[in-house]
């Protein structure tokens, strides 16, 4: 079994790197860790980067997960290879671009680009936000799925993810105590559905609602509260239509051994207990 330890980063192709920088610093509130002509490394916590925008195709989207060490990485490569997923071993140049010691790349059954990494870099400098968004860190991703049941099996049987709750057929899955690290979202093809950052308080969620509305950033869902995780949330749209989420107060699963996933109906009140409706999707 492939033991995922944590989320590491997302890599997003940007059709306009300047626009991505402006959004990331003035709206989202991340800190620029490093910048070259072709790539922008953004920080949200004590990691050297958790989001990289690179000049390229906006449909080129990748999620990186950390595994324990190089032997686990090799074992994961062998497992994926045996299951028929083509595996790419990262070259030294590619590792430098990701600020990791080693990595492999593959696609999940829907075709989402996934990377497993070893020794992702942390920074000694503390994260200092470019705007007062209250971000405490990069926390989870929504991944598109063309077949929720098949993909749930992949993440829970080939990898170590556990289902925390389901909304209809959609699984919210954890790899540690946090309610979910991977949320599957039905889609027509591969891609990242949303990128979540945690913020400090309810106040931060509502302040950002008014701040982003004033910046004419499209709000796509919320402010609201998920009945599944208990988190208060706000979803909004960034460059190349990527959706970002702020949330606060996500539950931890305290009874790892005995927790049983709850089934929520596939209806709006399962996504928001306050009554907000999604503006798209």
Partner 1 sequence: MVLGAKVTDRVGEVTYLGIDQKHHRVVLYPSDKAGLVYVSYGVESMDAVMQNNYFVQERQIKIMHGPGREPASGQIFLRFAGPEGYVFSYGYGLKDIEPHHRPRQFTLEASSLCEWGSECADVVELQPAQAR
Cβ closest to partner 1, residue 116 vs residue 272? 272
Point out which span in 43-51, 170-178, 233-241, 267-275 binds partner 1 (CB under 8 A).
Answer: 267-275
Letters for 177-216 (x = contact with partner 1 by CB under 8 A, - = none) are -------------------------xx--xx-xxx--x--
273 makes contact with partner 1 (CB under 8 A): yes
Cβ closest to partner 1, residue 92 vs residue 214? 214
Shortest distance, position 221 Cβ to partner 1, whole Å = 12
Q: What are phi and psi of 232, to 5 degrees?
A: -85, 140
Cβ closest to partner 1, residue 84 vs residue 214? 214
219 makes contact with partner 1 (CB under 8 A): no
Q: What are phi and psi of 191, to 5 degrees?
A: 150, 160
Give 179's contacts (C-beta < 8 A, 6+ positions apart).
164, 165, 172, 228, 229, 230, 231, 250, 251, 252, 253
131 makes contact with partner 1 (CB under 8 A): no
User: In the chain, what is the straight-line distance between the N-terminal and C-terminal CA atoms, in Å?
Assistant: 33
Cα–Cα distance measured from residue 280 to residue 139, given in angstroms and rounded to the nearest whole number: 23
**Is the Cβ–Cβ distance between 13 and 54 less than 8 Å?**
yes
**Is the Cβ–Cβ distance between 183 and 193 less than 8 Å?**
yes
Cβ closest to partner 1, residue 191 vs residue 223? 223
Shortest distance, position 268 Cβ to partner 1, whole Å = 10
Shortest distance, position 254 Cβ to partner 1, whole Å = 22
Cα–Cα distance measured from residue 179 to residue 115, given in angstroms and rounded to the nearest whole number: 22
Site residues, partner 1 (CB under 8 A): 202-203, 206-207, 209-211, 214, 223-225, 273-276
């Amino acid at each position: 079994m492939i033991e995922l330890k944590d989320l590491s980063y997302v890599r997003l192709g940007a059709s306009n790197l300047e626009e991505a920088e402006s959004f990331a610093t003035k709206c989202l509130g991340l800190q620029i860790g490093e910048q070259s002509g072709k790539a922008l490394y953004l920080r949200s916590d004590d990691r050297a980067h958790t989001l990289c925008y690179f000049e390229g195709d906006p449909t080129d989207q990748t999620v990186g997960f950390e595994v324990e060490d190089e032997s686990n990485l090799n074992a994961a490569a062998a497992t994926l290879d045996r299951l028929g997923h083509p595996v790419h071993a990262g070259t030294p140049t590619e590792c430098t671009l990701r600020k990791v010691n080693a990595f492999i790349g593959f696609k999940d059954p829907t075709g989402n680009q996934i990377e497993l990494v070893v020794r992702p870099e942390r920074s000694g400098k503390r994260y200092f936000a470019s705007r007062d968004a209250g971000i405490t860190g990069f926390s989870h991703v929504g991944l598109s799925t063309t077949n929720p049941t098949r993909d749930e099996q992949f993440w829970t049987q080939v990898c170590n993810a556990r289902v925390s709750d389901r909304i209809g057929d959609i699984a919210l899955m954890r790899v540690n105590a946090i309610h979910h690290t991977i949320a599957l979202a039905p889609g027509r093809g591969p891609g990242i559905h949303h990128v979540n950052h945690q913020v400090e308080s309810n106040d931060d969620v509502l302040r950002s609602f008014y701040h982003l509305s004033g910046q004419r950033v499209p709000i796509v869902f919320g402010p609201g509260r998920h009945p599944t995780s208990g988190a208060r949330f706000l979803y909004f749209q960034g460059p190349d239509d990527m959706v970002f989420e702020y949330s606060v107060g996500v539950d931890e699963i305290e009874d790892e051994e005995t927790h049983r996933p709850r089934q929520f109906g596939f209806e709006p009140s399962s996504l928001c207990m306050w009554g907000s409706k999604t503006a798209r999707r």
